[in-house]
């Protein structure tokens, strides 16, 4: 029995010693793996060597690229117009800003000047002021608000033999250099002074015929309405002032009286569109269109108009949208709803 007890004690001691060794080795292995993981983590986090972003704003593109190359930084370049021809090829903006600490290999966004959109003032004389205005607006949009040329307001107008709206003189002179923001000053033609015209014959015309004639002749006009009378065809111009064939100054207002049909088809409206247009130094292109409920679109009148109470008779379906435009830009719109035209007439219109 003594020998058996000795052997058991020896075995238990042996097992205990080896268990401790196993535990120690396992702990050591875990610590070793942990150290490797921590090392890999910091290697990944730290990555490449860090560097400071230099200040390259205002420098030539070539010089800026060399400075970035020394810092192991790489450019991402975009171009933009600026307000001075002297800026061409220089760095206008950078991101990140100078002084920022970044990793080597980082992309640096650079905005490089393309210079001004134009370098010299072109010759605008003889061109229509509205065309030039639209060109300058397009230039402003293309240059992202940094266009070097702008139109000085108000314009100077004077009578001349040139068509109304024609640019007669300009400042700066054509060919002048542009080194920064420049304001264009124009002298614009009002057209001939005291020119006489012959009043066309409108009496007896239907409303569409009268509107088409106004578009061709370009005379100033105002429409009025009155109820139709017995045995009188409806929807016609029944009176005009001045009379047809009269010789009058070009800016004379021709008053046209239209009778209201006694019966209007169900679902349609006969009325008078009216909108007060600001006075212009010379007539501008105006257009009144009807957007029908079925999606169709029709032009009621397209005319040169100098401003004032712009009136146009119509007979259109309920729900039609009338759209008034000046120089191809929408100025006003109105949806037609049922009304009694005669109820809105003043005494002088009757």
Other C-beta atoms within 10 Å of 51: how many?
18
> Which residues fall within 8 angstroms of residue 303, CB to CB, at 6 or more apart?
214, 215, 218, 285, 286, 287
284-291 and 247-249 strand pairing: unpaired
The full DSSP string for 279-311 is: P-SS-EEEEEEEE-TTS-EEEEEEEEE-SEEEE
Encode pLDDT of 242-280 as tens digits. Answer: 999 999 988 899 999 999 988 889 999 999 999 999 988
Q: What is the pLDDT of residue 277?
A: 93
Query: How far is residue 271's CA from residue 322's CA, in Å, rounded to a whole number?
Result: 12
Other C-beta atoms within 10 Å of 121: how many?
19
For residue 138, what pLDDT band results from cuts at 50, 70 and 90? confident
Domains of the chain in start order, with CATH, are: 50-113 (3.30.10.20), 129-189 (no CATH), 196-349 (3.30.10.20)
Q: What is the pLDDT of residue 174?
A: 92
Q: What is the pLDDT of residue 191?
A: 86
Q: What is the pLDDT of residue 350?
A: 43
| Rg of the chain (C-alpha set) | 41
Encode pLDDT of 170-210 as tens digits. Answer: 999 998 888 778 899 999 998 888 788 899 999 999 999 99
């Amino acid at each position: 029995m003594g020998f058996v007890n000795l052997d058991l004690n020896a075995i238990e001691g042996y097992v205990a010693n080896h268990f401790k060794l196993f535990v120690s080795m396992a702990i050591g292995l875990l610590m070793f793996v942990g150290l490797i993981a921590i090392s890999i983590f910091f290697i990944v986090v730290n990555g490449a060597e860090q560097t400071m972003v230099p200040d390259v704003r205002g420098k030539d593109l070539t010089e800026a690229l060399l400075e970035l190359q020394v810092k192991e930084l790489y450019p991402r370049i975009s171009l933009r117009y600026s307000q001075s021809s002297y800026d061409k090829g220089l760095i206008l903006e950078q991101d990140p800003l100078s002084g920022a600490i970044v990793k080597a290999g980082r992309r640096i966004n650079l905005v490089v000047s393309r210079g001004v959109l134009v370098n010299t003032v072109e010759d605008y004389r003889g061109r229509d002021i509205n065309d030039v205005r639209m060109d300058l607006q397009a230039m402003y949009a293309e240059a992202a608000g940094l266009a070097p040329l702008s139109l000085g307001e108000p314009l100077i107008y004077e009578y001349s033999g040139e068509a109304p709206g024609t640019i007669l003189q300009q400042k700066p002179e054509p060919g002048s250099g542009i080194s920064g923001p420049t304001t264009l000053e124009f002298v614009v033609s009002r057209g001939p002074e005291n020119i006489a015209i012959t009043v066309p014959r409108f009496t007896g015309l239907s409303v569409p015929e009268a509107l088409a004639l106004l578009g061709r002749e370009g005379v100033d006009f105002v429409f009025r309405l009155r109820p139709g009378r017995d045995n009188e065809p409806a929807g016609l111009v029944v009176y005009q002032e001045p009379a047809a064939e009269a010789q009058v100054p070009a800016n004379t207002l021709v008053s046209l009286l239209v009778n209201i049909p006694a019966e209007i088809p169900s679902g349609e409206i006969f009325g008078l569109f009216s909108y007060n247009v600001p006075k212009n130094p010379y007539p501008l292109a105006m257009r009144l269109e009807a957007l029908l409920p079925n999606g169709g679109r029709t032009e009621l009148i397209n005319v040169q108009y100098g401003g004032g109470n712009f009136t146009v008779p119509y007979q259109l379906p309920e729900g039609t949208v009338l759209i008034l435009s000046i120089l191809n830009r929408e100025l006003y719109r109105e949806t037609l709803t049922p009304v009694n035209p005669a109820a809105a007439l003043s005494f002088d219109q009757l």
